[in-house]
Structure 1
Amino acid sequence: MTLKQHCGDDDVLLTQVQAMLVEDRNQEESLEHDLVAFAQSFVEGERERSPFQQMEQIGPYRLVRLLGEGGMGFVYLAERVDIGGLVAIKFLRDAWVSPERRRRFAREQKTLAQLKHPAIAQIYDANALQDGTPWFVMEYVDGIPLTKYWEDRKGTVQECLELFRTVCEVVLYAHRRAIIHRDIKPSNVLVTSGGTVKLLDFGIAKQLAEDPLSAEVTLTVLHPMTPQYAAPEQQTGAEVGVFTDVYALGLLLYEMLAGELPFDKDDFARESPRRLPIEQTTKRLSGLLNRGEWADLNVLCLTAIRFEPEFRYASAEAMIRDVDAFLQKRPLAARAVNSIYRIRKFAARRRVEIVYAAIAILVFIALSSYFAIHLRQARDAAIAEAARTERIQQFTSNLFRGNESSVGPAEDLRVKPLLDRGREEASSLNSDPDMQADMKETLGEIYRKLGDQGHAEELLTASLAWRESRAKDLPRKYVQNLIELAGLRTDEAKLDDAERLARKAVDVSRSIPVRPEDKARPIAANALMVLGTVLEAKGSYPEAAKALTDALRLRQQSTAADADTALNMRELANVHFYQGHYTEADALNQQVLEMHRAFYGMKHPEVAEDLNNLGAVQLELGNLKQAEANYQQCVAIAEAWYGLENPKVAEDLTSLARVLIREKRYQDAKLPLNRALMIQERTHGHDHPAVASALNELATMELQEETYVAAERHFSEALGIWRVIYGESHQFIGVGLSNLGSVYMSEKDYPKAEAMYRQALQVFIKTVHEGHLNTGIAHLKLGRAMLRQKRYADAEAESLQGYATLNALVLPSNGFLKAAKTDLVEIYMGLNRREDANRFRSN
């Protein structure tokens, strides 16, 4: 008789028995081991709490001290001896006792590897001891528990909720990747001295996609947890979900506010949590709350920690929405809303507007009768003209938003004639110069997106001339015009003029009064963003990062992220990329891609640019197949949107050719590369960064095909363009010098190659930093030039420096990293140091 037949119609019983069988199969019999050794291991475990404390070093990591321990393992502070830096190493405790413990430990590593977020401690390395005990290396976070941090700070309730919201966002990030943490508590949420939140310990995290009979969580099996912060369903062994983490978040918020949990320590039923104690909570906060705010705080906390999961917030995102509602004095979704409650919230949020509205109504009533007859005709004419203006501007502005089914992409023949007619109509509006300036500005920006820089220049310059004469009356429009012209100047590689316009936009925006509806100050944020973009193009990365971060901070005061926020995050990701911070760049670009897909769908040019940026990160890390897949997608989207001859398409073609060259598929690379070069020269002329980029890739291909004369000519041509645009203090100058050195290496002119590499190395150290990928590659190339001259001792220092830099940044499959190992083996053989040579040969 089958198990199904034994259980009959009792599905719960069937599930429980299946789970128990799976758990039994997963466990080794402890009694199969030597009983004396088994007992002795536990006795000694009590006497000597860490079995690893006698170890001094594991691989390149020197153990410093024990940070903590738990049911699953021990965590040590360690220092990486070869390249420096502190890390945390986690060892599995009693790894031989159960294969399930080892599986859970391995699952924690895989979970951390999936999560790329600045507020989640990252995993760096993993291995096992000689006895089979697994361990992994992760980011060391020097912080204190969230509740202790808040207790020491004693800020306002608004500051408390903003800090808590950051934690919710991190949890939501994990949930969107189908991962439930299941052990959220103060000691697993650390805050650094700079106020940065870090979520730790995914040791008992659960993948939502797991099979309930093969995964670690079933209806009948209990698992490690912290009882005080475990949800009721964890206590009883019931099924868990995102609502389980919501429960723990509610406890965190309650403890931050009240300094205690909402139930007694031994009360595991938890069906009736206490309301927030007003007197005790008030002592922990600065500032006063009114009666309605206290009620909302209680609803916020107690909804999250309801005993029944179905009555809690459905997700961390739902809880974030109510946190935002509280901060903005809007009604909470979790609170039963009646008319009085809604009106009171609206009045608190719009007190000033209500007073002004009341005054305006009274004035209007008093004067409307007197002026009605005299103003009716003028009013009707103004309304008709305003409606006409709005129709024209809205239609032209929406051409490239991807939201109008009636408007085709750039290659559609309807677009160009439409813009040309709009330009002619704008020129005829001399009787209304303000409206004419609006039209020219709007059309100029669209011509810029089409890559028609000539018409964009004409229209934006004419619009700005009028705006300058009205700057005091219409400062917002003046700043917006400055921003758009600065963007055009950046496209044209006229970077000094672009910076001048951007800084002027920032200065003027700071003097504009803040309107009640503009809490995020979007015009000031846009001015800072364009300044950051210009500084990024000039290679001033620290200044660019500050401007972009300041802009993003202004935007985050708004209720929700918008398209400008996504663009701001993208530019910040670009700065991280050029600084060699690939993990940060990848995380930001992934977020931007998700936002743009939500805004525009899958086939919008903004999505294409995000895919290009993600491909660039994968290319630098050596993941060529993923990079190529990204570039193929973005070329297809850009060509479908803009047509075949647009400079945006050319940028994507250059990127695609770059990865094809790295894959040694030279014939495949030639067609897109030649197309890109032709489009960019026709659009921008010769002296432009996009032209230099295409020439640089062409020369790289020629170098690989051993046509050295052509390679040297094109590398020199690209370097000359970069010098015209950037001067001598830009990392692209280092790229050009390094590439010329590679030509001389191929021609076996090693002294000349060495001189070029030394110049390139100095440029990289000056413009980026010593730990940057390009700097590491320059060290490797310089070392190889010395190696070819049999100067083994000199070559060793440079090659080791380059190897250490690349080993910390790229995948083991990276070609430069493999070449570094090969060179070091040859260097040590030349120095008769066979043991050192064998070390790199075995790696």
Structure 2
Amino acid sequence: MGDLDWNRVETIVDQALELPEEERATFIEQKCQGDEQLKGEITTLLESISCSEGWLENPKNYQREFYQEIADDVELLSSGRNLIDTQVGSYLIKEKIGEGGMGAVYLAERSADEFEHRVAIKIIRQGQASKENLQRFKREQQILAGLNHPGIAQFYDGGVTVDGFPYIIMEYVDGVPIDEYCRRSNIDLDEKIELFKKVLEAVRYAHENLVIHRDLKPGNILVNSDGKIKILDFGISKLLESESHESSLTLTGARLLTPRYAAPEQVKQQNITTATDLYALGIVFYELAAGSGPYDLENQSPYEIEQIILETNPKKPSARTQIPGRSQKLYGDLDAVILKALRKQPENRYRLANEFLDDLSNYQQGLPVSAQEGTFQYRAHKFFKRHKQGAAAVVGILLLIIGLTGFYTWRITEERNQAQFEAERAQQIKEFMLSMFDRSNPDMANYSGREQSTTEMLIAGMQKVEDELSNRPEMHIEMLASIGDALSNIDEFEKADQALTKALIRSRKYYGANSHQTADILSDLANYNHEIQQYEEAENYILEALAIDSTINGEHSESLSDKISIYASNQFLQSNYHRARQLFLEADSLDKVFGRTQTPGYHTMLANLGETELFLGEYQQAENHFLQALNFYTNYYDSMHVNIAMTQYRLGMLHHYRSEYKKAETYLLKSLDGYKTLYGAYNSQLSSNYAMLARTYRLLGDLDQAHNYALKDADLTKTLFSDTSAMYAKSLNNLAMMQKAQGQLKAAKNNYEQSLLLYQQHLDSDNPDLAMPLYNLADVLMDLGNYDRSHDLIKRVVEIDKAKLGPRHPEVGIDLNKMGAILTKAGHFAQADSVFAEAEGIFLGKFPENHYRIGEYFVNCGILNLKQQNHKEASNYFKQAIEIFNTNFKEDNRRIAQAMAYLKKSQQAAVSSANQ
């Protein structure tokens, strides 16, 4: 095929496609003029295009890529490549179990002394191993590695074979497609609903983790012999065709879909959302429930299939089913639920898997479903269907009509009165606030003759609230809660606790324990306990608030979003980053459903999500969310605001982790100035800025500035929190880091040990925050020559980080690099080599290619090879390290000098060895 003139092929195919089908053969004969190879290729391509379902009405825009796909396939197939009994990673391929246009799927095994493990390996053909595809491939691996749900086939690993074939290793699932399972098992409709709800739960989990499948169908939803579902290819459908048993897969440029389950927006190549997956599941559920699909697609042309998907409304499942007795069961609620999932416009469908799940659960319980119109007659019918043993239906309905009429008349009056009451109360609060800060306020007498600080005015205002509003409970509760929240924000923790606790007691007594007012104060107390690092208390408060809100407003209320965000923050502060991200995404979904995406609160949640992604090593996603939030805040606020300062700090931290230290310095200094403008010189937020600036200046080589900021951090936290607090432990750790950089090893060791002791007093033994002081103490002990204790500590760090962050997280790579260095210095070269080999995949797969941590890894590998007298390999490692360090640091940086010294030593050793 490589000898063909593809411009000529394209021209002839383009012209042939514009002709009626019956005229094409004659036209091709004339154009090919006896060239049988050319004729054969054109005929094959035309047949492939005609057979490919879902092709757009005008395929010209996609033909060139399609030609290349076919050419690459033929090239691959013609090679006769056989991968059976070959090794991929640590697995041996045993048999081919599937094949598609972009590759094949193999069953593989890994045998070890202690266990045997079977996996499915998907190997992509060589023609797809472009730089762009490999980058996409790596991004998919990072996303999929975070999915851990019993209903989703687990992603294990990925890479590129030695001969250039990208591959992924997935859990091997021994099961059958869900429709086949239902037919074989002959299960009834209720059992199918229960099985399908498990599918929805798995899809909900994936959506909460930012993964959209885009090709859900029975062939990707398997059920094993125990009746457990397992969804295949989550996210991989963005890159891979599915197995060949689905011959109707469409290829239109980068579009991959199965038309039978494709949503209208997929056919039109518009934006794909979670609603797209739920449409496909609607088709699957339609087929399971009715025994046939919503559309007649057999014997239809590709264009006609697309028009049916875009224009034809599906019939009710109850009207399509041929299963005896099934029509009556489907009629009504199930018809409505299924058809809602299949609406043409995504915004009119189920947007969240939870909504679909809730309607199915409500159907099973005889409750109203959201897919119905919600008329009075419908809800009355549902009520009496659930209460058949009550009063006679006619009398009951009549009484219900009378009762509801009276109720709605009363409610209209109440709402009007409530609106008037709220307006009056707002005016009263405004007047009270103005009087609270009036100089004639007797509670301000202690401050006469000078300017009052915010703290002083709030404390005086709290006393005024107690004195004047105790007989007006609504205002008393609201003002105490507001003042308590404000005091917490400016670090007046004791007074904040007093105000919020009083507000909570009064609210429970006046409004009740299960009121939205009580829930809001509980949320404020959760935030307060975050500030003082009492995370267990914070979690208790926010879980109680969530329970109250859910009881009052249901599982999908607008008010839940803020409380879920607080819960997510609590999980983040306890280093439960995956759970935190899941909760932030749940809050994000609710905000989008209720149209709250143009508010400061939404962007605060978005910035918090960004910081979670930062700690998960997902730097690009984090940056996107930070910049989106900062752009909104800059346009929203007229002057400096805490949200602006906080987001600038987070961007500084992000650039620090990316080794972009000048950018980090710029953002951190802006944030520092902002916090000082807002809160003065004694605020806990400054501590984080000081600590991050110290670390940044250390890496920029300015050790004096680094030590200066580390001392400021330690002095501030000691003043604000005491020298026995967890905050002071963190500052001590930071100060020790600067001392070590200055060569003060014993002083650094003492401060690291004191820091670790404080951490252990405040944290559980398995808390991942212990990894930092353990790592740093191991580092300085290595430099002091105490290799045994150093190795014990770093081994514990690796265990903590692997358990909490996953085995391929960037932090684990850093840990392994340090362990390898310790083993090298201790003379355990074989163990060091094994550890470095494990670290290599993380460094080259998870870090930017010029990250200074990769340079440190290369230096350590070079030292190991130097000690093993592999002088050439050692020199190569040192050269690579120097090249990376030169892109990150100034010429006089100690890392560059150290690597150059080692390079010189290895080169001299090589010459000496050659002369012997």
Matched, 1:135 2:175: no
Distance of aligned partners of 1:535 and 1:73 in 2 relative to their CA distance in 1, 3 Å threshold: closer
Give the match for residue 738 of structure 1: 775
Distance of aligned partners of 1:551 and 1:147 in 2 relative to their CA distance in 1, 3 Å threshold: farther
Give distance in 2, aligned partners of 1:534 and 1:29: 49
Q: What is the 5 A alignment of 1:175-194?
A: 185-187=217-219, 193=228
Matched, 1:463 2:503: yes
**Which whole-Å deviations, capped at 9, do the CAs of 1:181-214 have from their partners, x for residues lacking one?**
9866444567995767824322479xxxxxxxxx
2:287 aligns with one of 241, 250, 258 = 258
Letter in 1 for 2:789: A
Deviation at 1:763, TM superposition (A): 6.4
Deviation at 1:591, TM superposition (A): 7.3
Partners of 1:73 and 1:92 within 8 A in 2: yes
Matched, 1:201 2:237: yes
Matched, 1:761 2:795: yes
Secondary structure of the structure 1 residue equivalent to 2:553: coil
Letter in 1 for 2:315: R
Q: What is the 5 A alignment of 1:241-252?
A: 241-242=270-271, 250=279, 252=281
Distance of aligned partners of 1:501 and 1:626 in 2 relative to their CA distance in 1, 3 Å threshold: closer
Give distance in 2, aligned partners of 1:766 and 1:40: 48
5+ residue gaps, structure 1, are 1-11, 46-50, 206-215, 305-311, 373-377, 397-411
Give distance in 1, aligned partners of 2:320 and 2:713: 67
Give the match for residue 8 of structure 1: none
Letter in 2 for 1:517: N
**Which whole-Å deviations, capped at 9, do the CAs of 1:277-325 have from their partners, x for residues lacking one?**
3177697999987855466456536643xxxxxxx54898879899699
Letter in 2 for 1:202: K
Give the match for residue 137 of structure 2: 109
1:52 aligns with one of 82, 99, 103 = 82
Q: What is the 5 A alignment of 1:551-590?
A: 560=594, 582=617
Partners of 1:582 and 1:617 within 8 A in 2: no
Distance of aligned partners of 1:565 and 1:644 in 2 relative to their CA distance in 1, 3 Å threshold: same
Matched, 1:66 2:96: yes
Between 1 and 2, higher relative CO (CA 8 Å, sep ≥ 6) is seen in 1
Distance of aligned partners of 1:147 and 1:723 in 2 relative to their CA distance in 1, 3 Å threshold: same
Distance of aligned partners of 1:503 and 1:570 in 2 relative to their CA distance in 1, 3 Å threshold: farther
Letter in 2 for 1:700: M
Secondary structure of the structure 2 residue equivalent to 1:66: strand
Deviation at 1:241, TM superposition (A): 3.2
Give the match for residue 5 of structure 1: none
**Which whole-Å deviations, capped at 9, do the CAs of 1:238-257 have from their partners, x for residues lacking one?**
x7434899889645522322
Give the match for residue 436 of structure 1: 476
Letter in 2 for 1:109: F
Deviation at 1:448, TM superposition (A): 0.9
Secondary structure of the structure 2 residue equivalent to 1:769: helix
Deviation at 1:666, TM superposition (A): 4.3
Secondary structure of the structure 1 residue equivalent to 2:98: strand
Give distance in 1, aligned partners of 2:330 and 2:61: 56
Letter in 2 for 1:253: G
Letter in 2 for 1:68: G
Give the match for residue 685 of structure 1: 722
Secondary structure of the structure 2 residue equivalent to 1:201: helix
| RMSD, aligned α-carbons | 6.7
Deviation at 1:648, TM superposition (A): 2.7
Deviation at 1:708, TM superposition (A): 3.4
Superposition TM-score, scaled by structure 1 size: 0.64
Give distance in 2, aligned partners of 1:60 and 1:688: 47
Give the match for residue 448 of structure 1: 488
Partners of 2:613 and 2:621 within 8 A in 1: no
Give the match for residue 658 of structure 1: 695
- Relative to structure 2, which stretch is displaced further, 645-654 or 120-129? 120-129
Partners of 2:529 and 2:537 within 8 A in 1: no
Deviation at 1:553, TM superposition (A): 8.1
Give distance in 2, aligned partners of 1:450 and 1:360: 50
Matched, 1:719 2:745: no
Matched, 1:423 2:462: yes
Give distance in 1, aligned partners of 2:721 and 2:613: 27
Partners of 1:730 and 1:763 within 8 A in 2: no
Give the match for residue 699 of structure 1: 736
Partners of 2:550 and 2:560 within 8 A in 1: no
Secondary structure of the structure 2 residue equivalent to 1:446: helix
Letter in 1 for 2:792: R
Distance of aligned partners of 1:320 and 1:640 in 2 relative to their CA distance in 1, 3 Å threshold: farther
Give the match for residue 389 of structure 2: none
Q: What is the aligned-residue identity percentage?
A: 15
What is the aligned length?
745
Q: What is the 5 A alignment of 1:731-810?
A: 731-746=768-783, 749-751=784-786, 754-759=788-793, 761-762=795-796, 765=799, 769=803, 771=807, 777=814, 780-792=817-829, 795=832, 810=847
Partners of 1:729 and 1:763 within 8 A in 2: no
Deviation at 1:444, TM superposition (A): 0.5
Partners of 2:145 and 2:156 within 8 A in 1: no
**Which whole-Å deviations, capped at 9, do the CAs of 1:563-587 have from their partners, x for residues lacking one?**
9999899989988987xx546x987
**Which whole-Å deviations, capped at 9, do the CAs of 1:354-391 have from their partners, x for residues lacking one?**
9899648748999x99xx9xxxxx99998787455676
Give distance in 1, aligned partners of 2:843 and 2:236: 27
Partners of 1:692 and 1:722 within 8 A in 2: yes
2:528 aligns with one of 480, 484, 488 = 488
Partners of 1:150 and 1:256 within 8 A in 2: no
**Which whole-Å deviations, capped at 9, do the CAs of 1:662-684 have from their partners, x for residues lacking one?**
45454665666555445444433
Deviation at 1:643, TM superposition (A): 6.6
Partners of 1:757 and 1:782 within 8 A in 2: yes
Secondary structure of the structure 1 residue equivalent to 2:104: strand
Give distance in 1, aligned partners of 2:424 and 2:325: 54
Partners of 1:186 and 1:252 within 8 A in 2: no
Give distance in 1, aligned partners of 2:581 and 2:330: 37
Partners of 2:694 and 2:710 within 8 A in 1: yes
Secondary structure of the structure 2 residue equivalent to 1:761: helix
Letter in 1 for 2:491: G
Secondary structure of the structure 2 residue equivalent to 1:75: strand
Partners of 1:73 and 1:93 within 8 A in 2: yes
Give distance in 2, aligned partners of 1:636 and 1:77: 59
Deviation at 1:795, TM superposition (A): 4.9
Partners of 2:143 and 2:211 within 8 A in 1: no
Secondary structure of the structure 1 residue equivalent to 2:237: coil
Distance of aligned partners of 1:426 and 1:764 in 2 relative to their CA distance in 1, 3 Å threshold: farther
**Which whole-Å deviations, capped at 9, do the CAs of 1:1-25 have from their partners, x for residues lacking one?**
xxxxxxxxxxx99xx9x99699669
Give distance in 1, aligned partners of 2:255 and 2:566: 51
- Relative to structure 2, which stretch is displaced further, 151-160 or 480-489? 151-160
Partners of 1:620 and 1:810 within 8 A in 2: no
Deviation at 1:70, TM superposition (A): 0.9
Deviation at 1:758, TM superposition (A): 1.8
Partners of 2:760 and 2:770 within 8 A in 1: yes
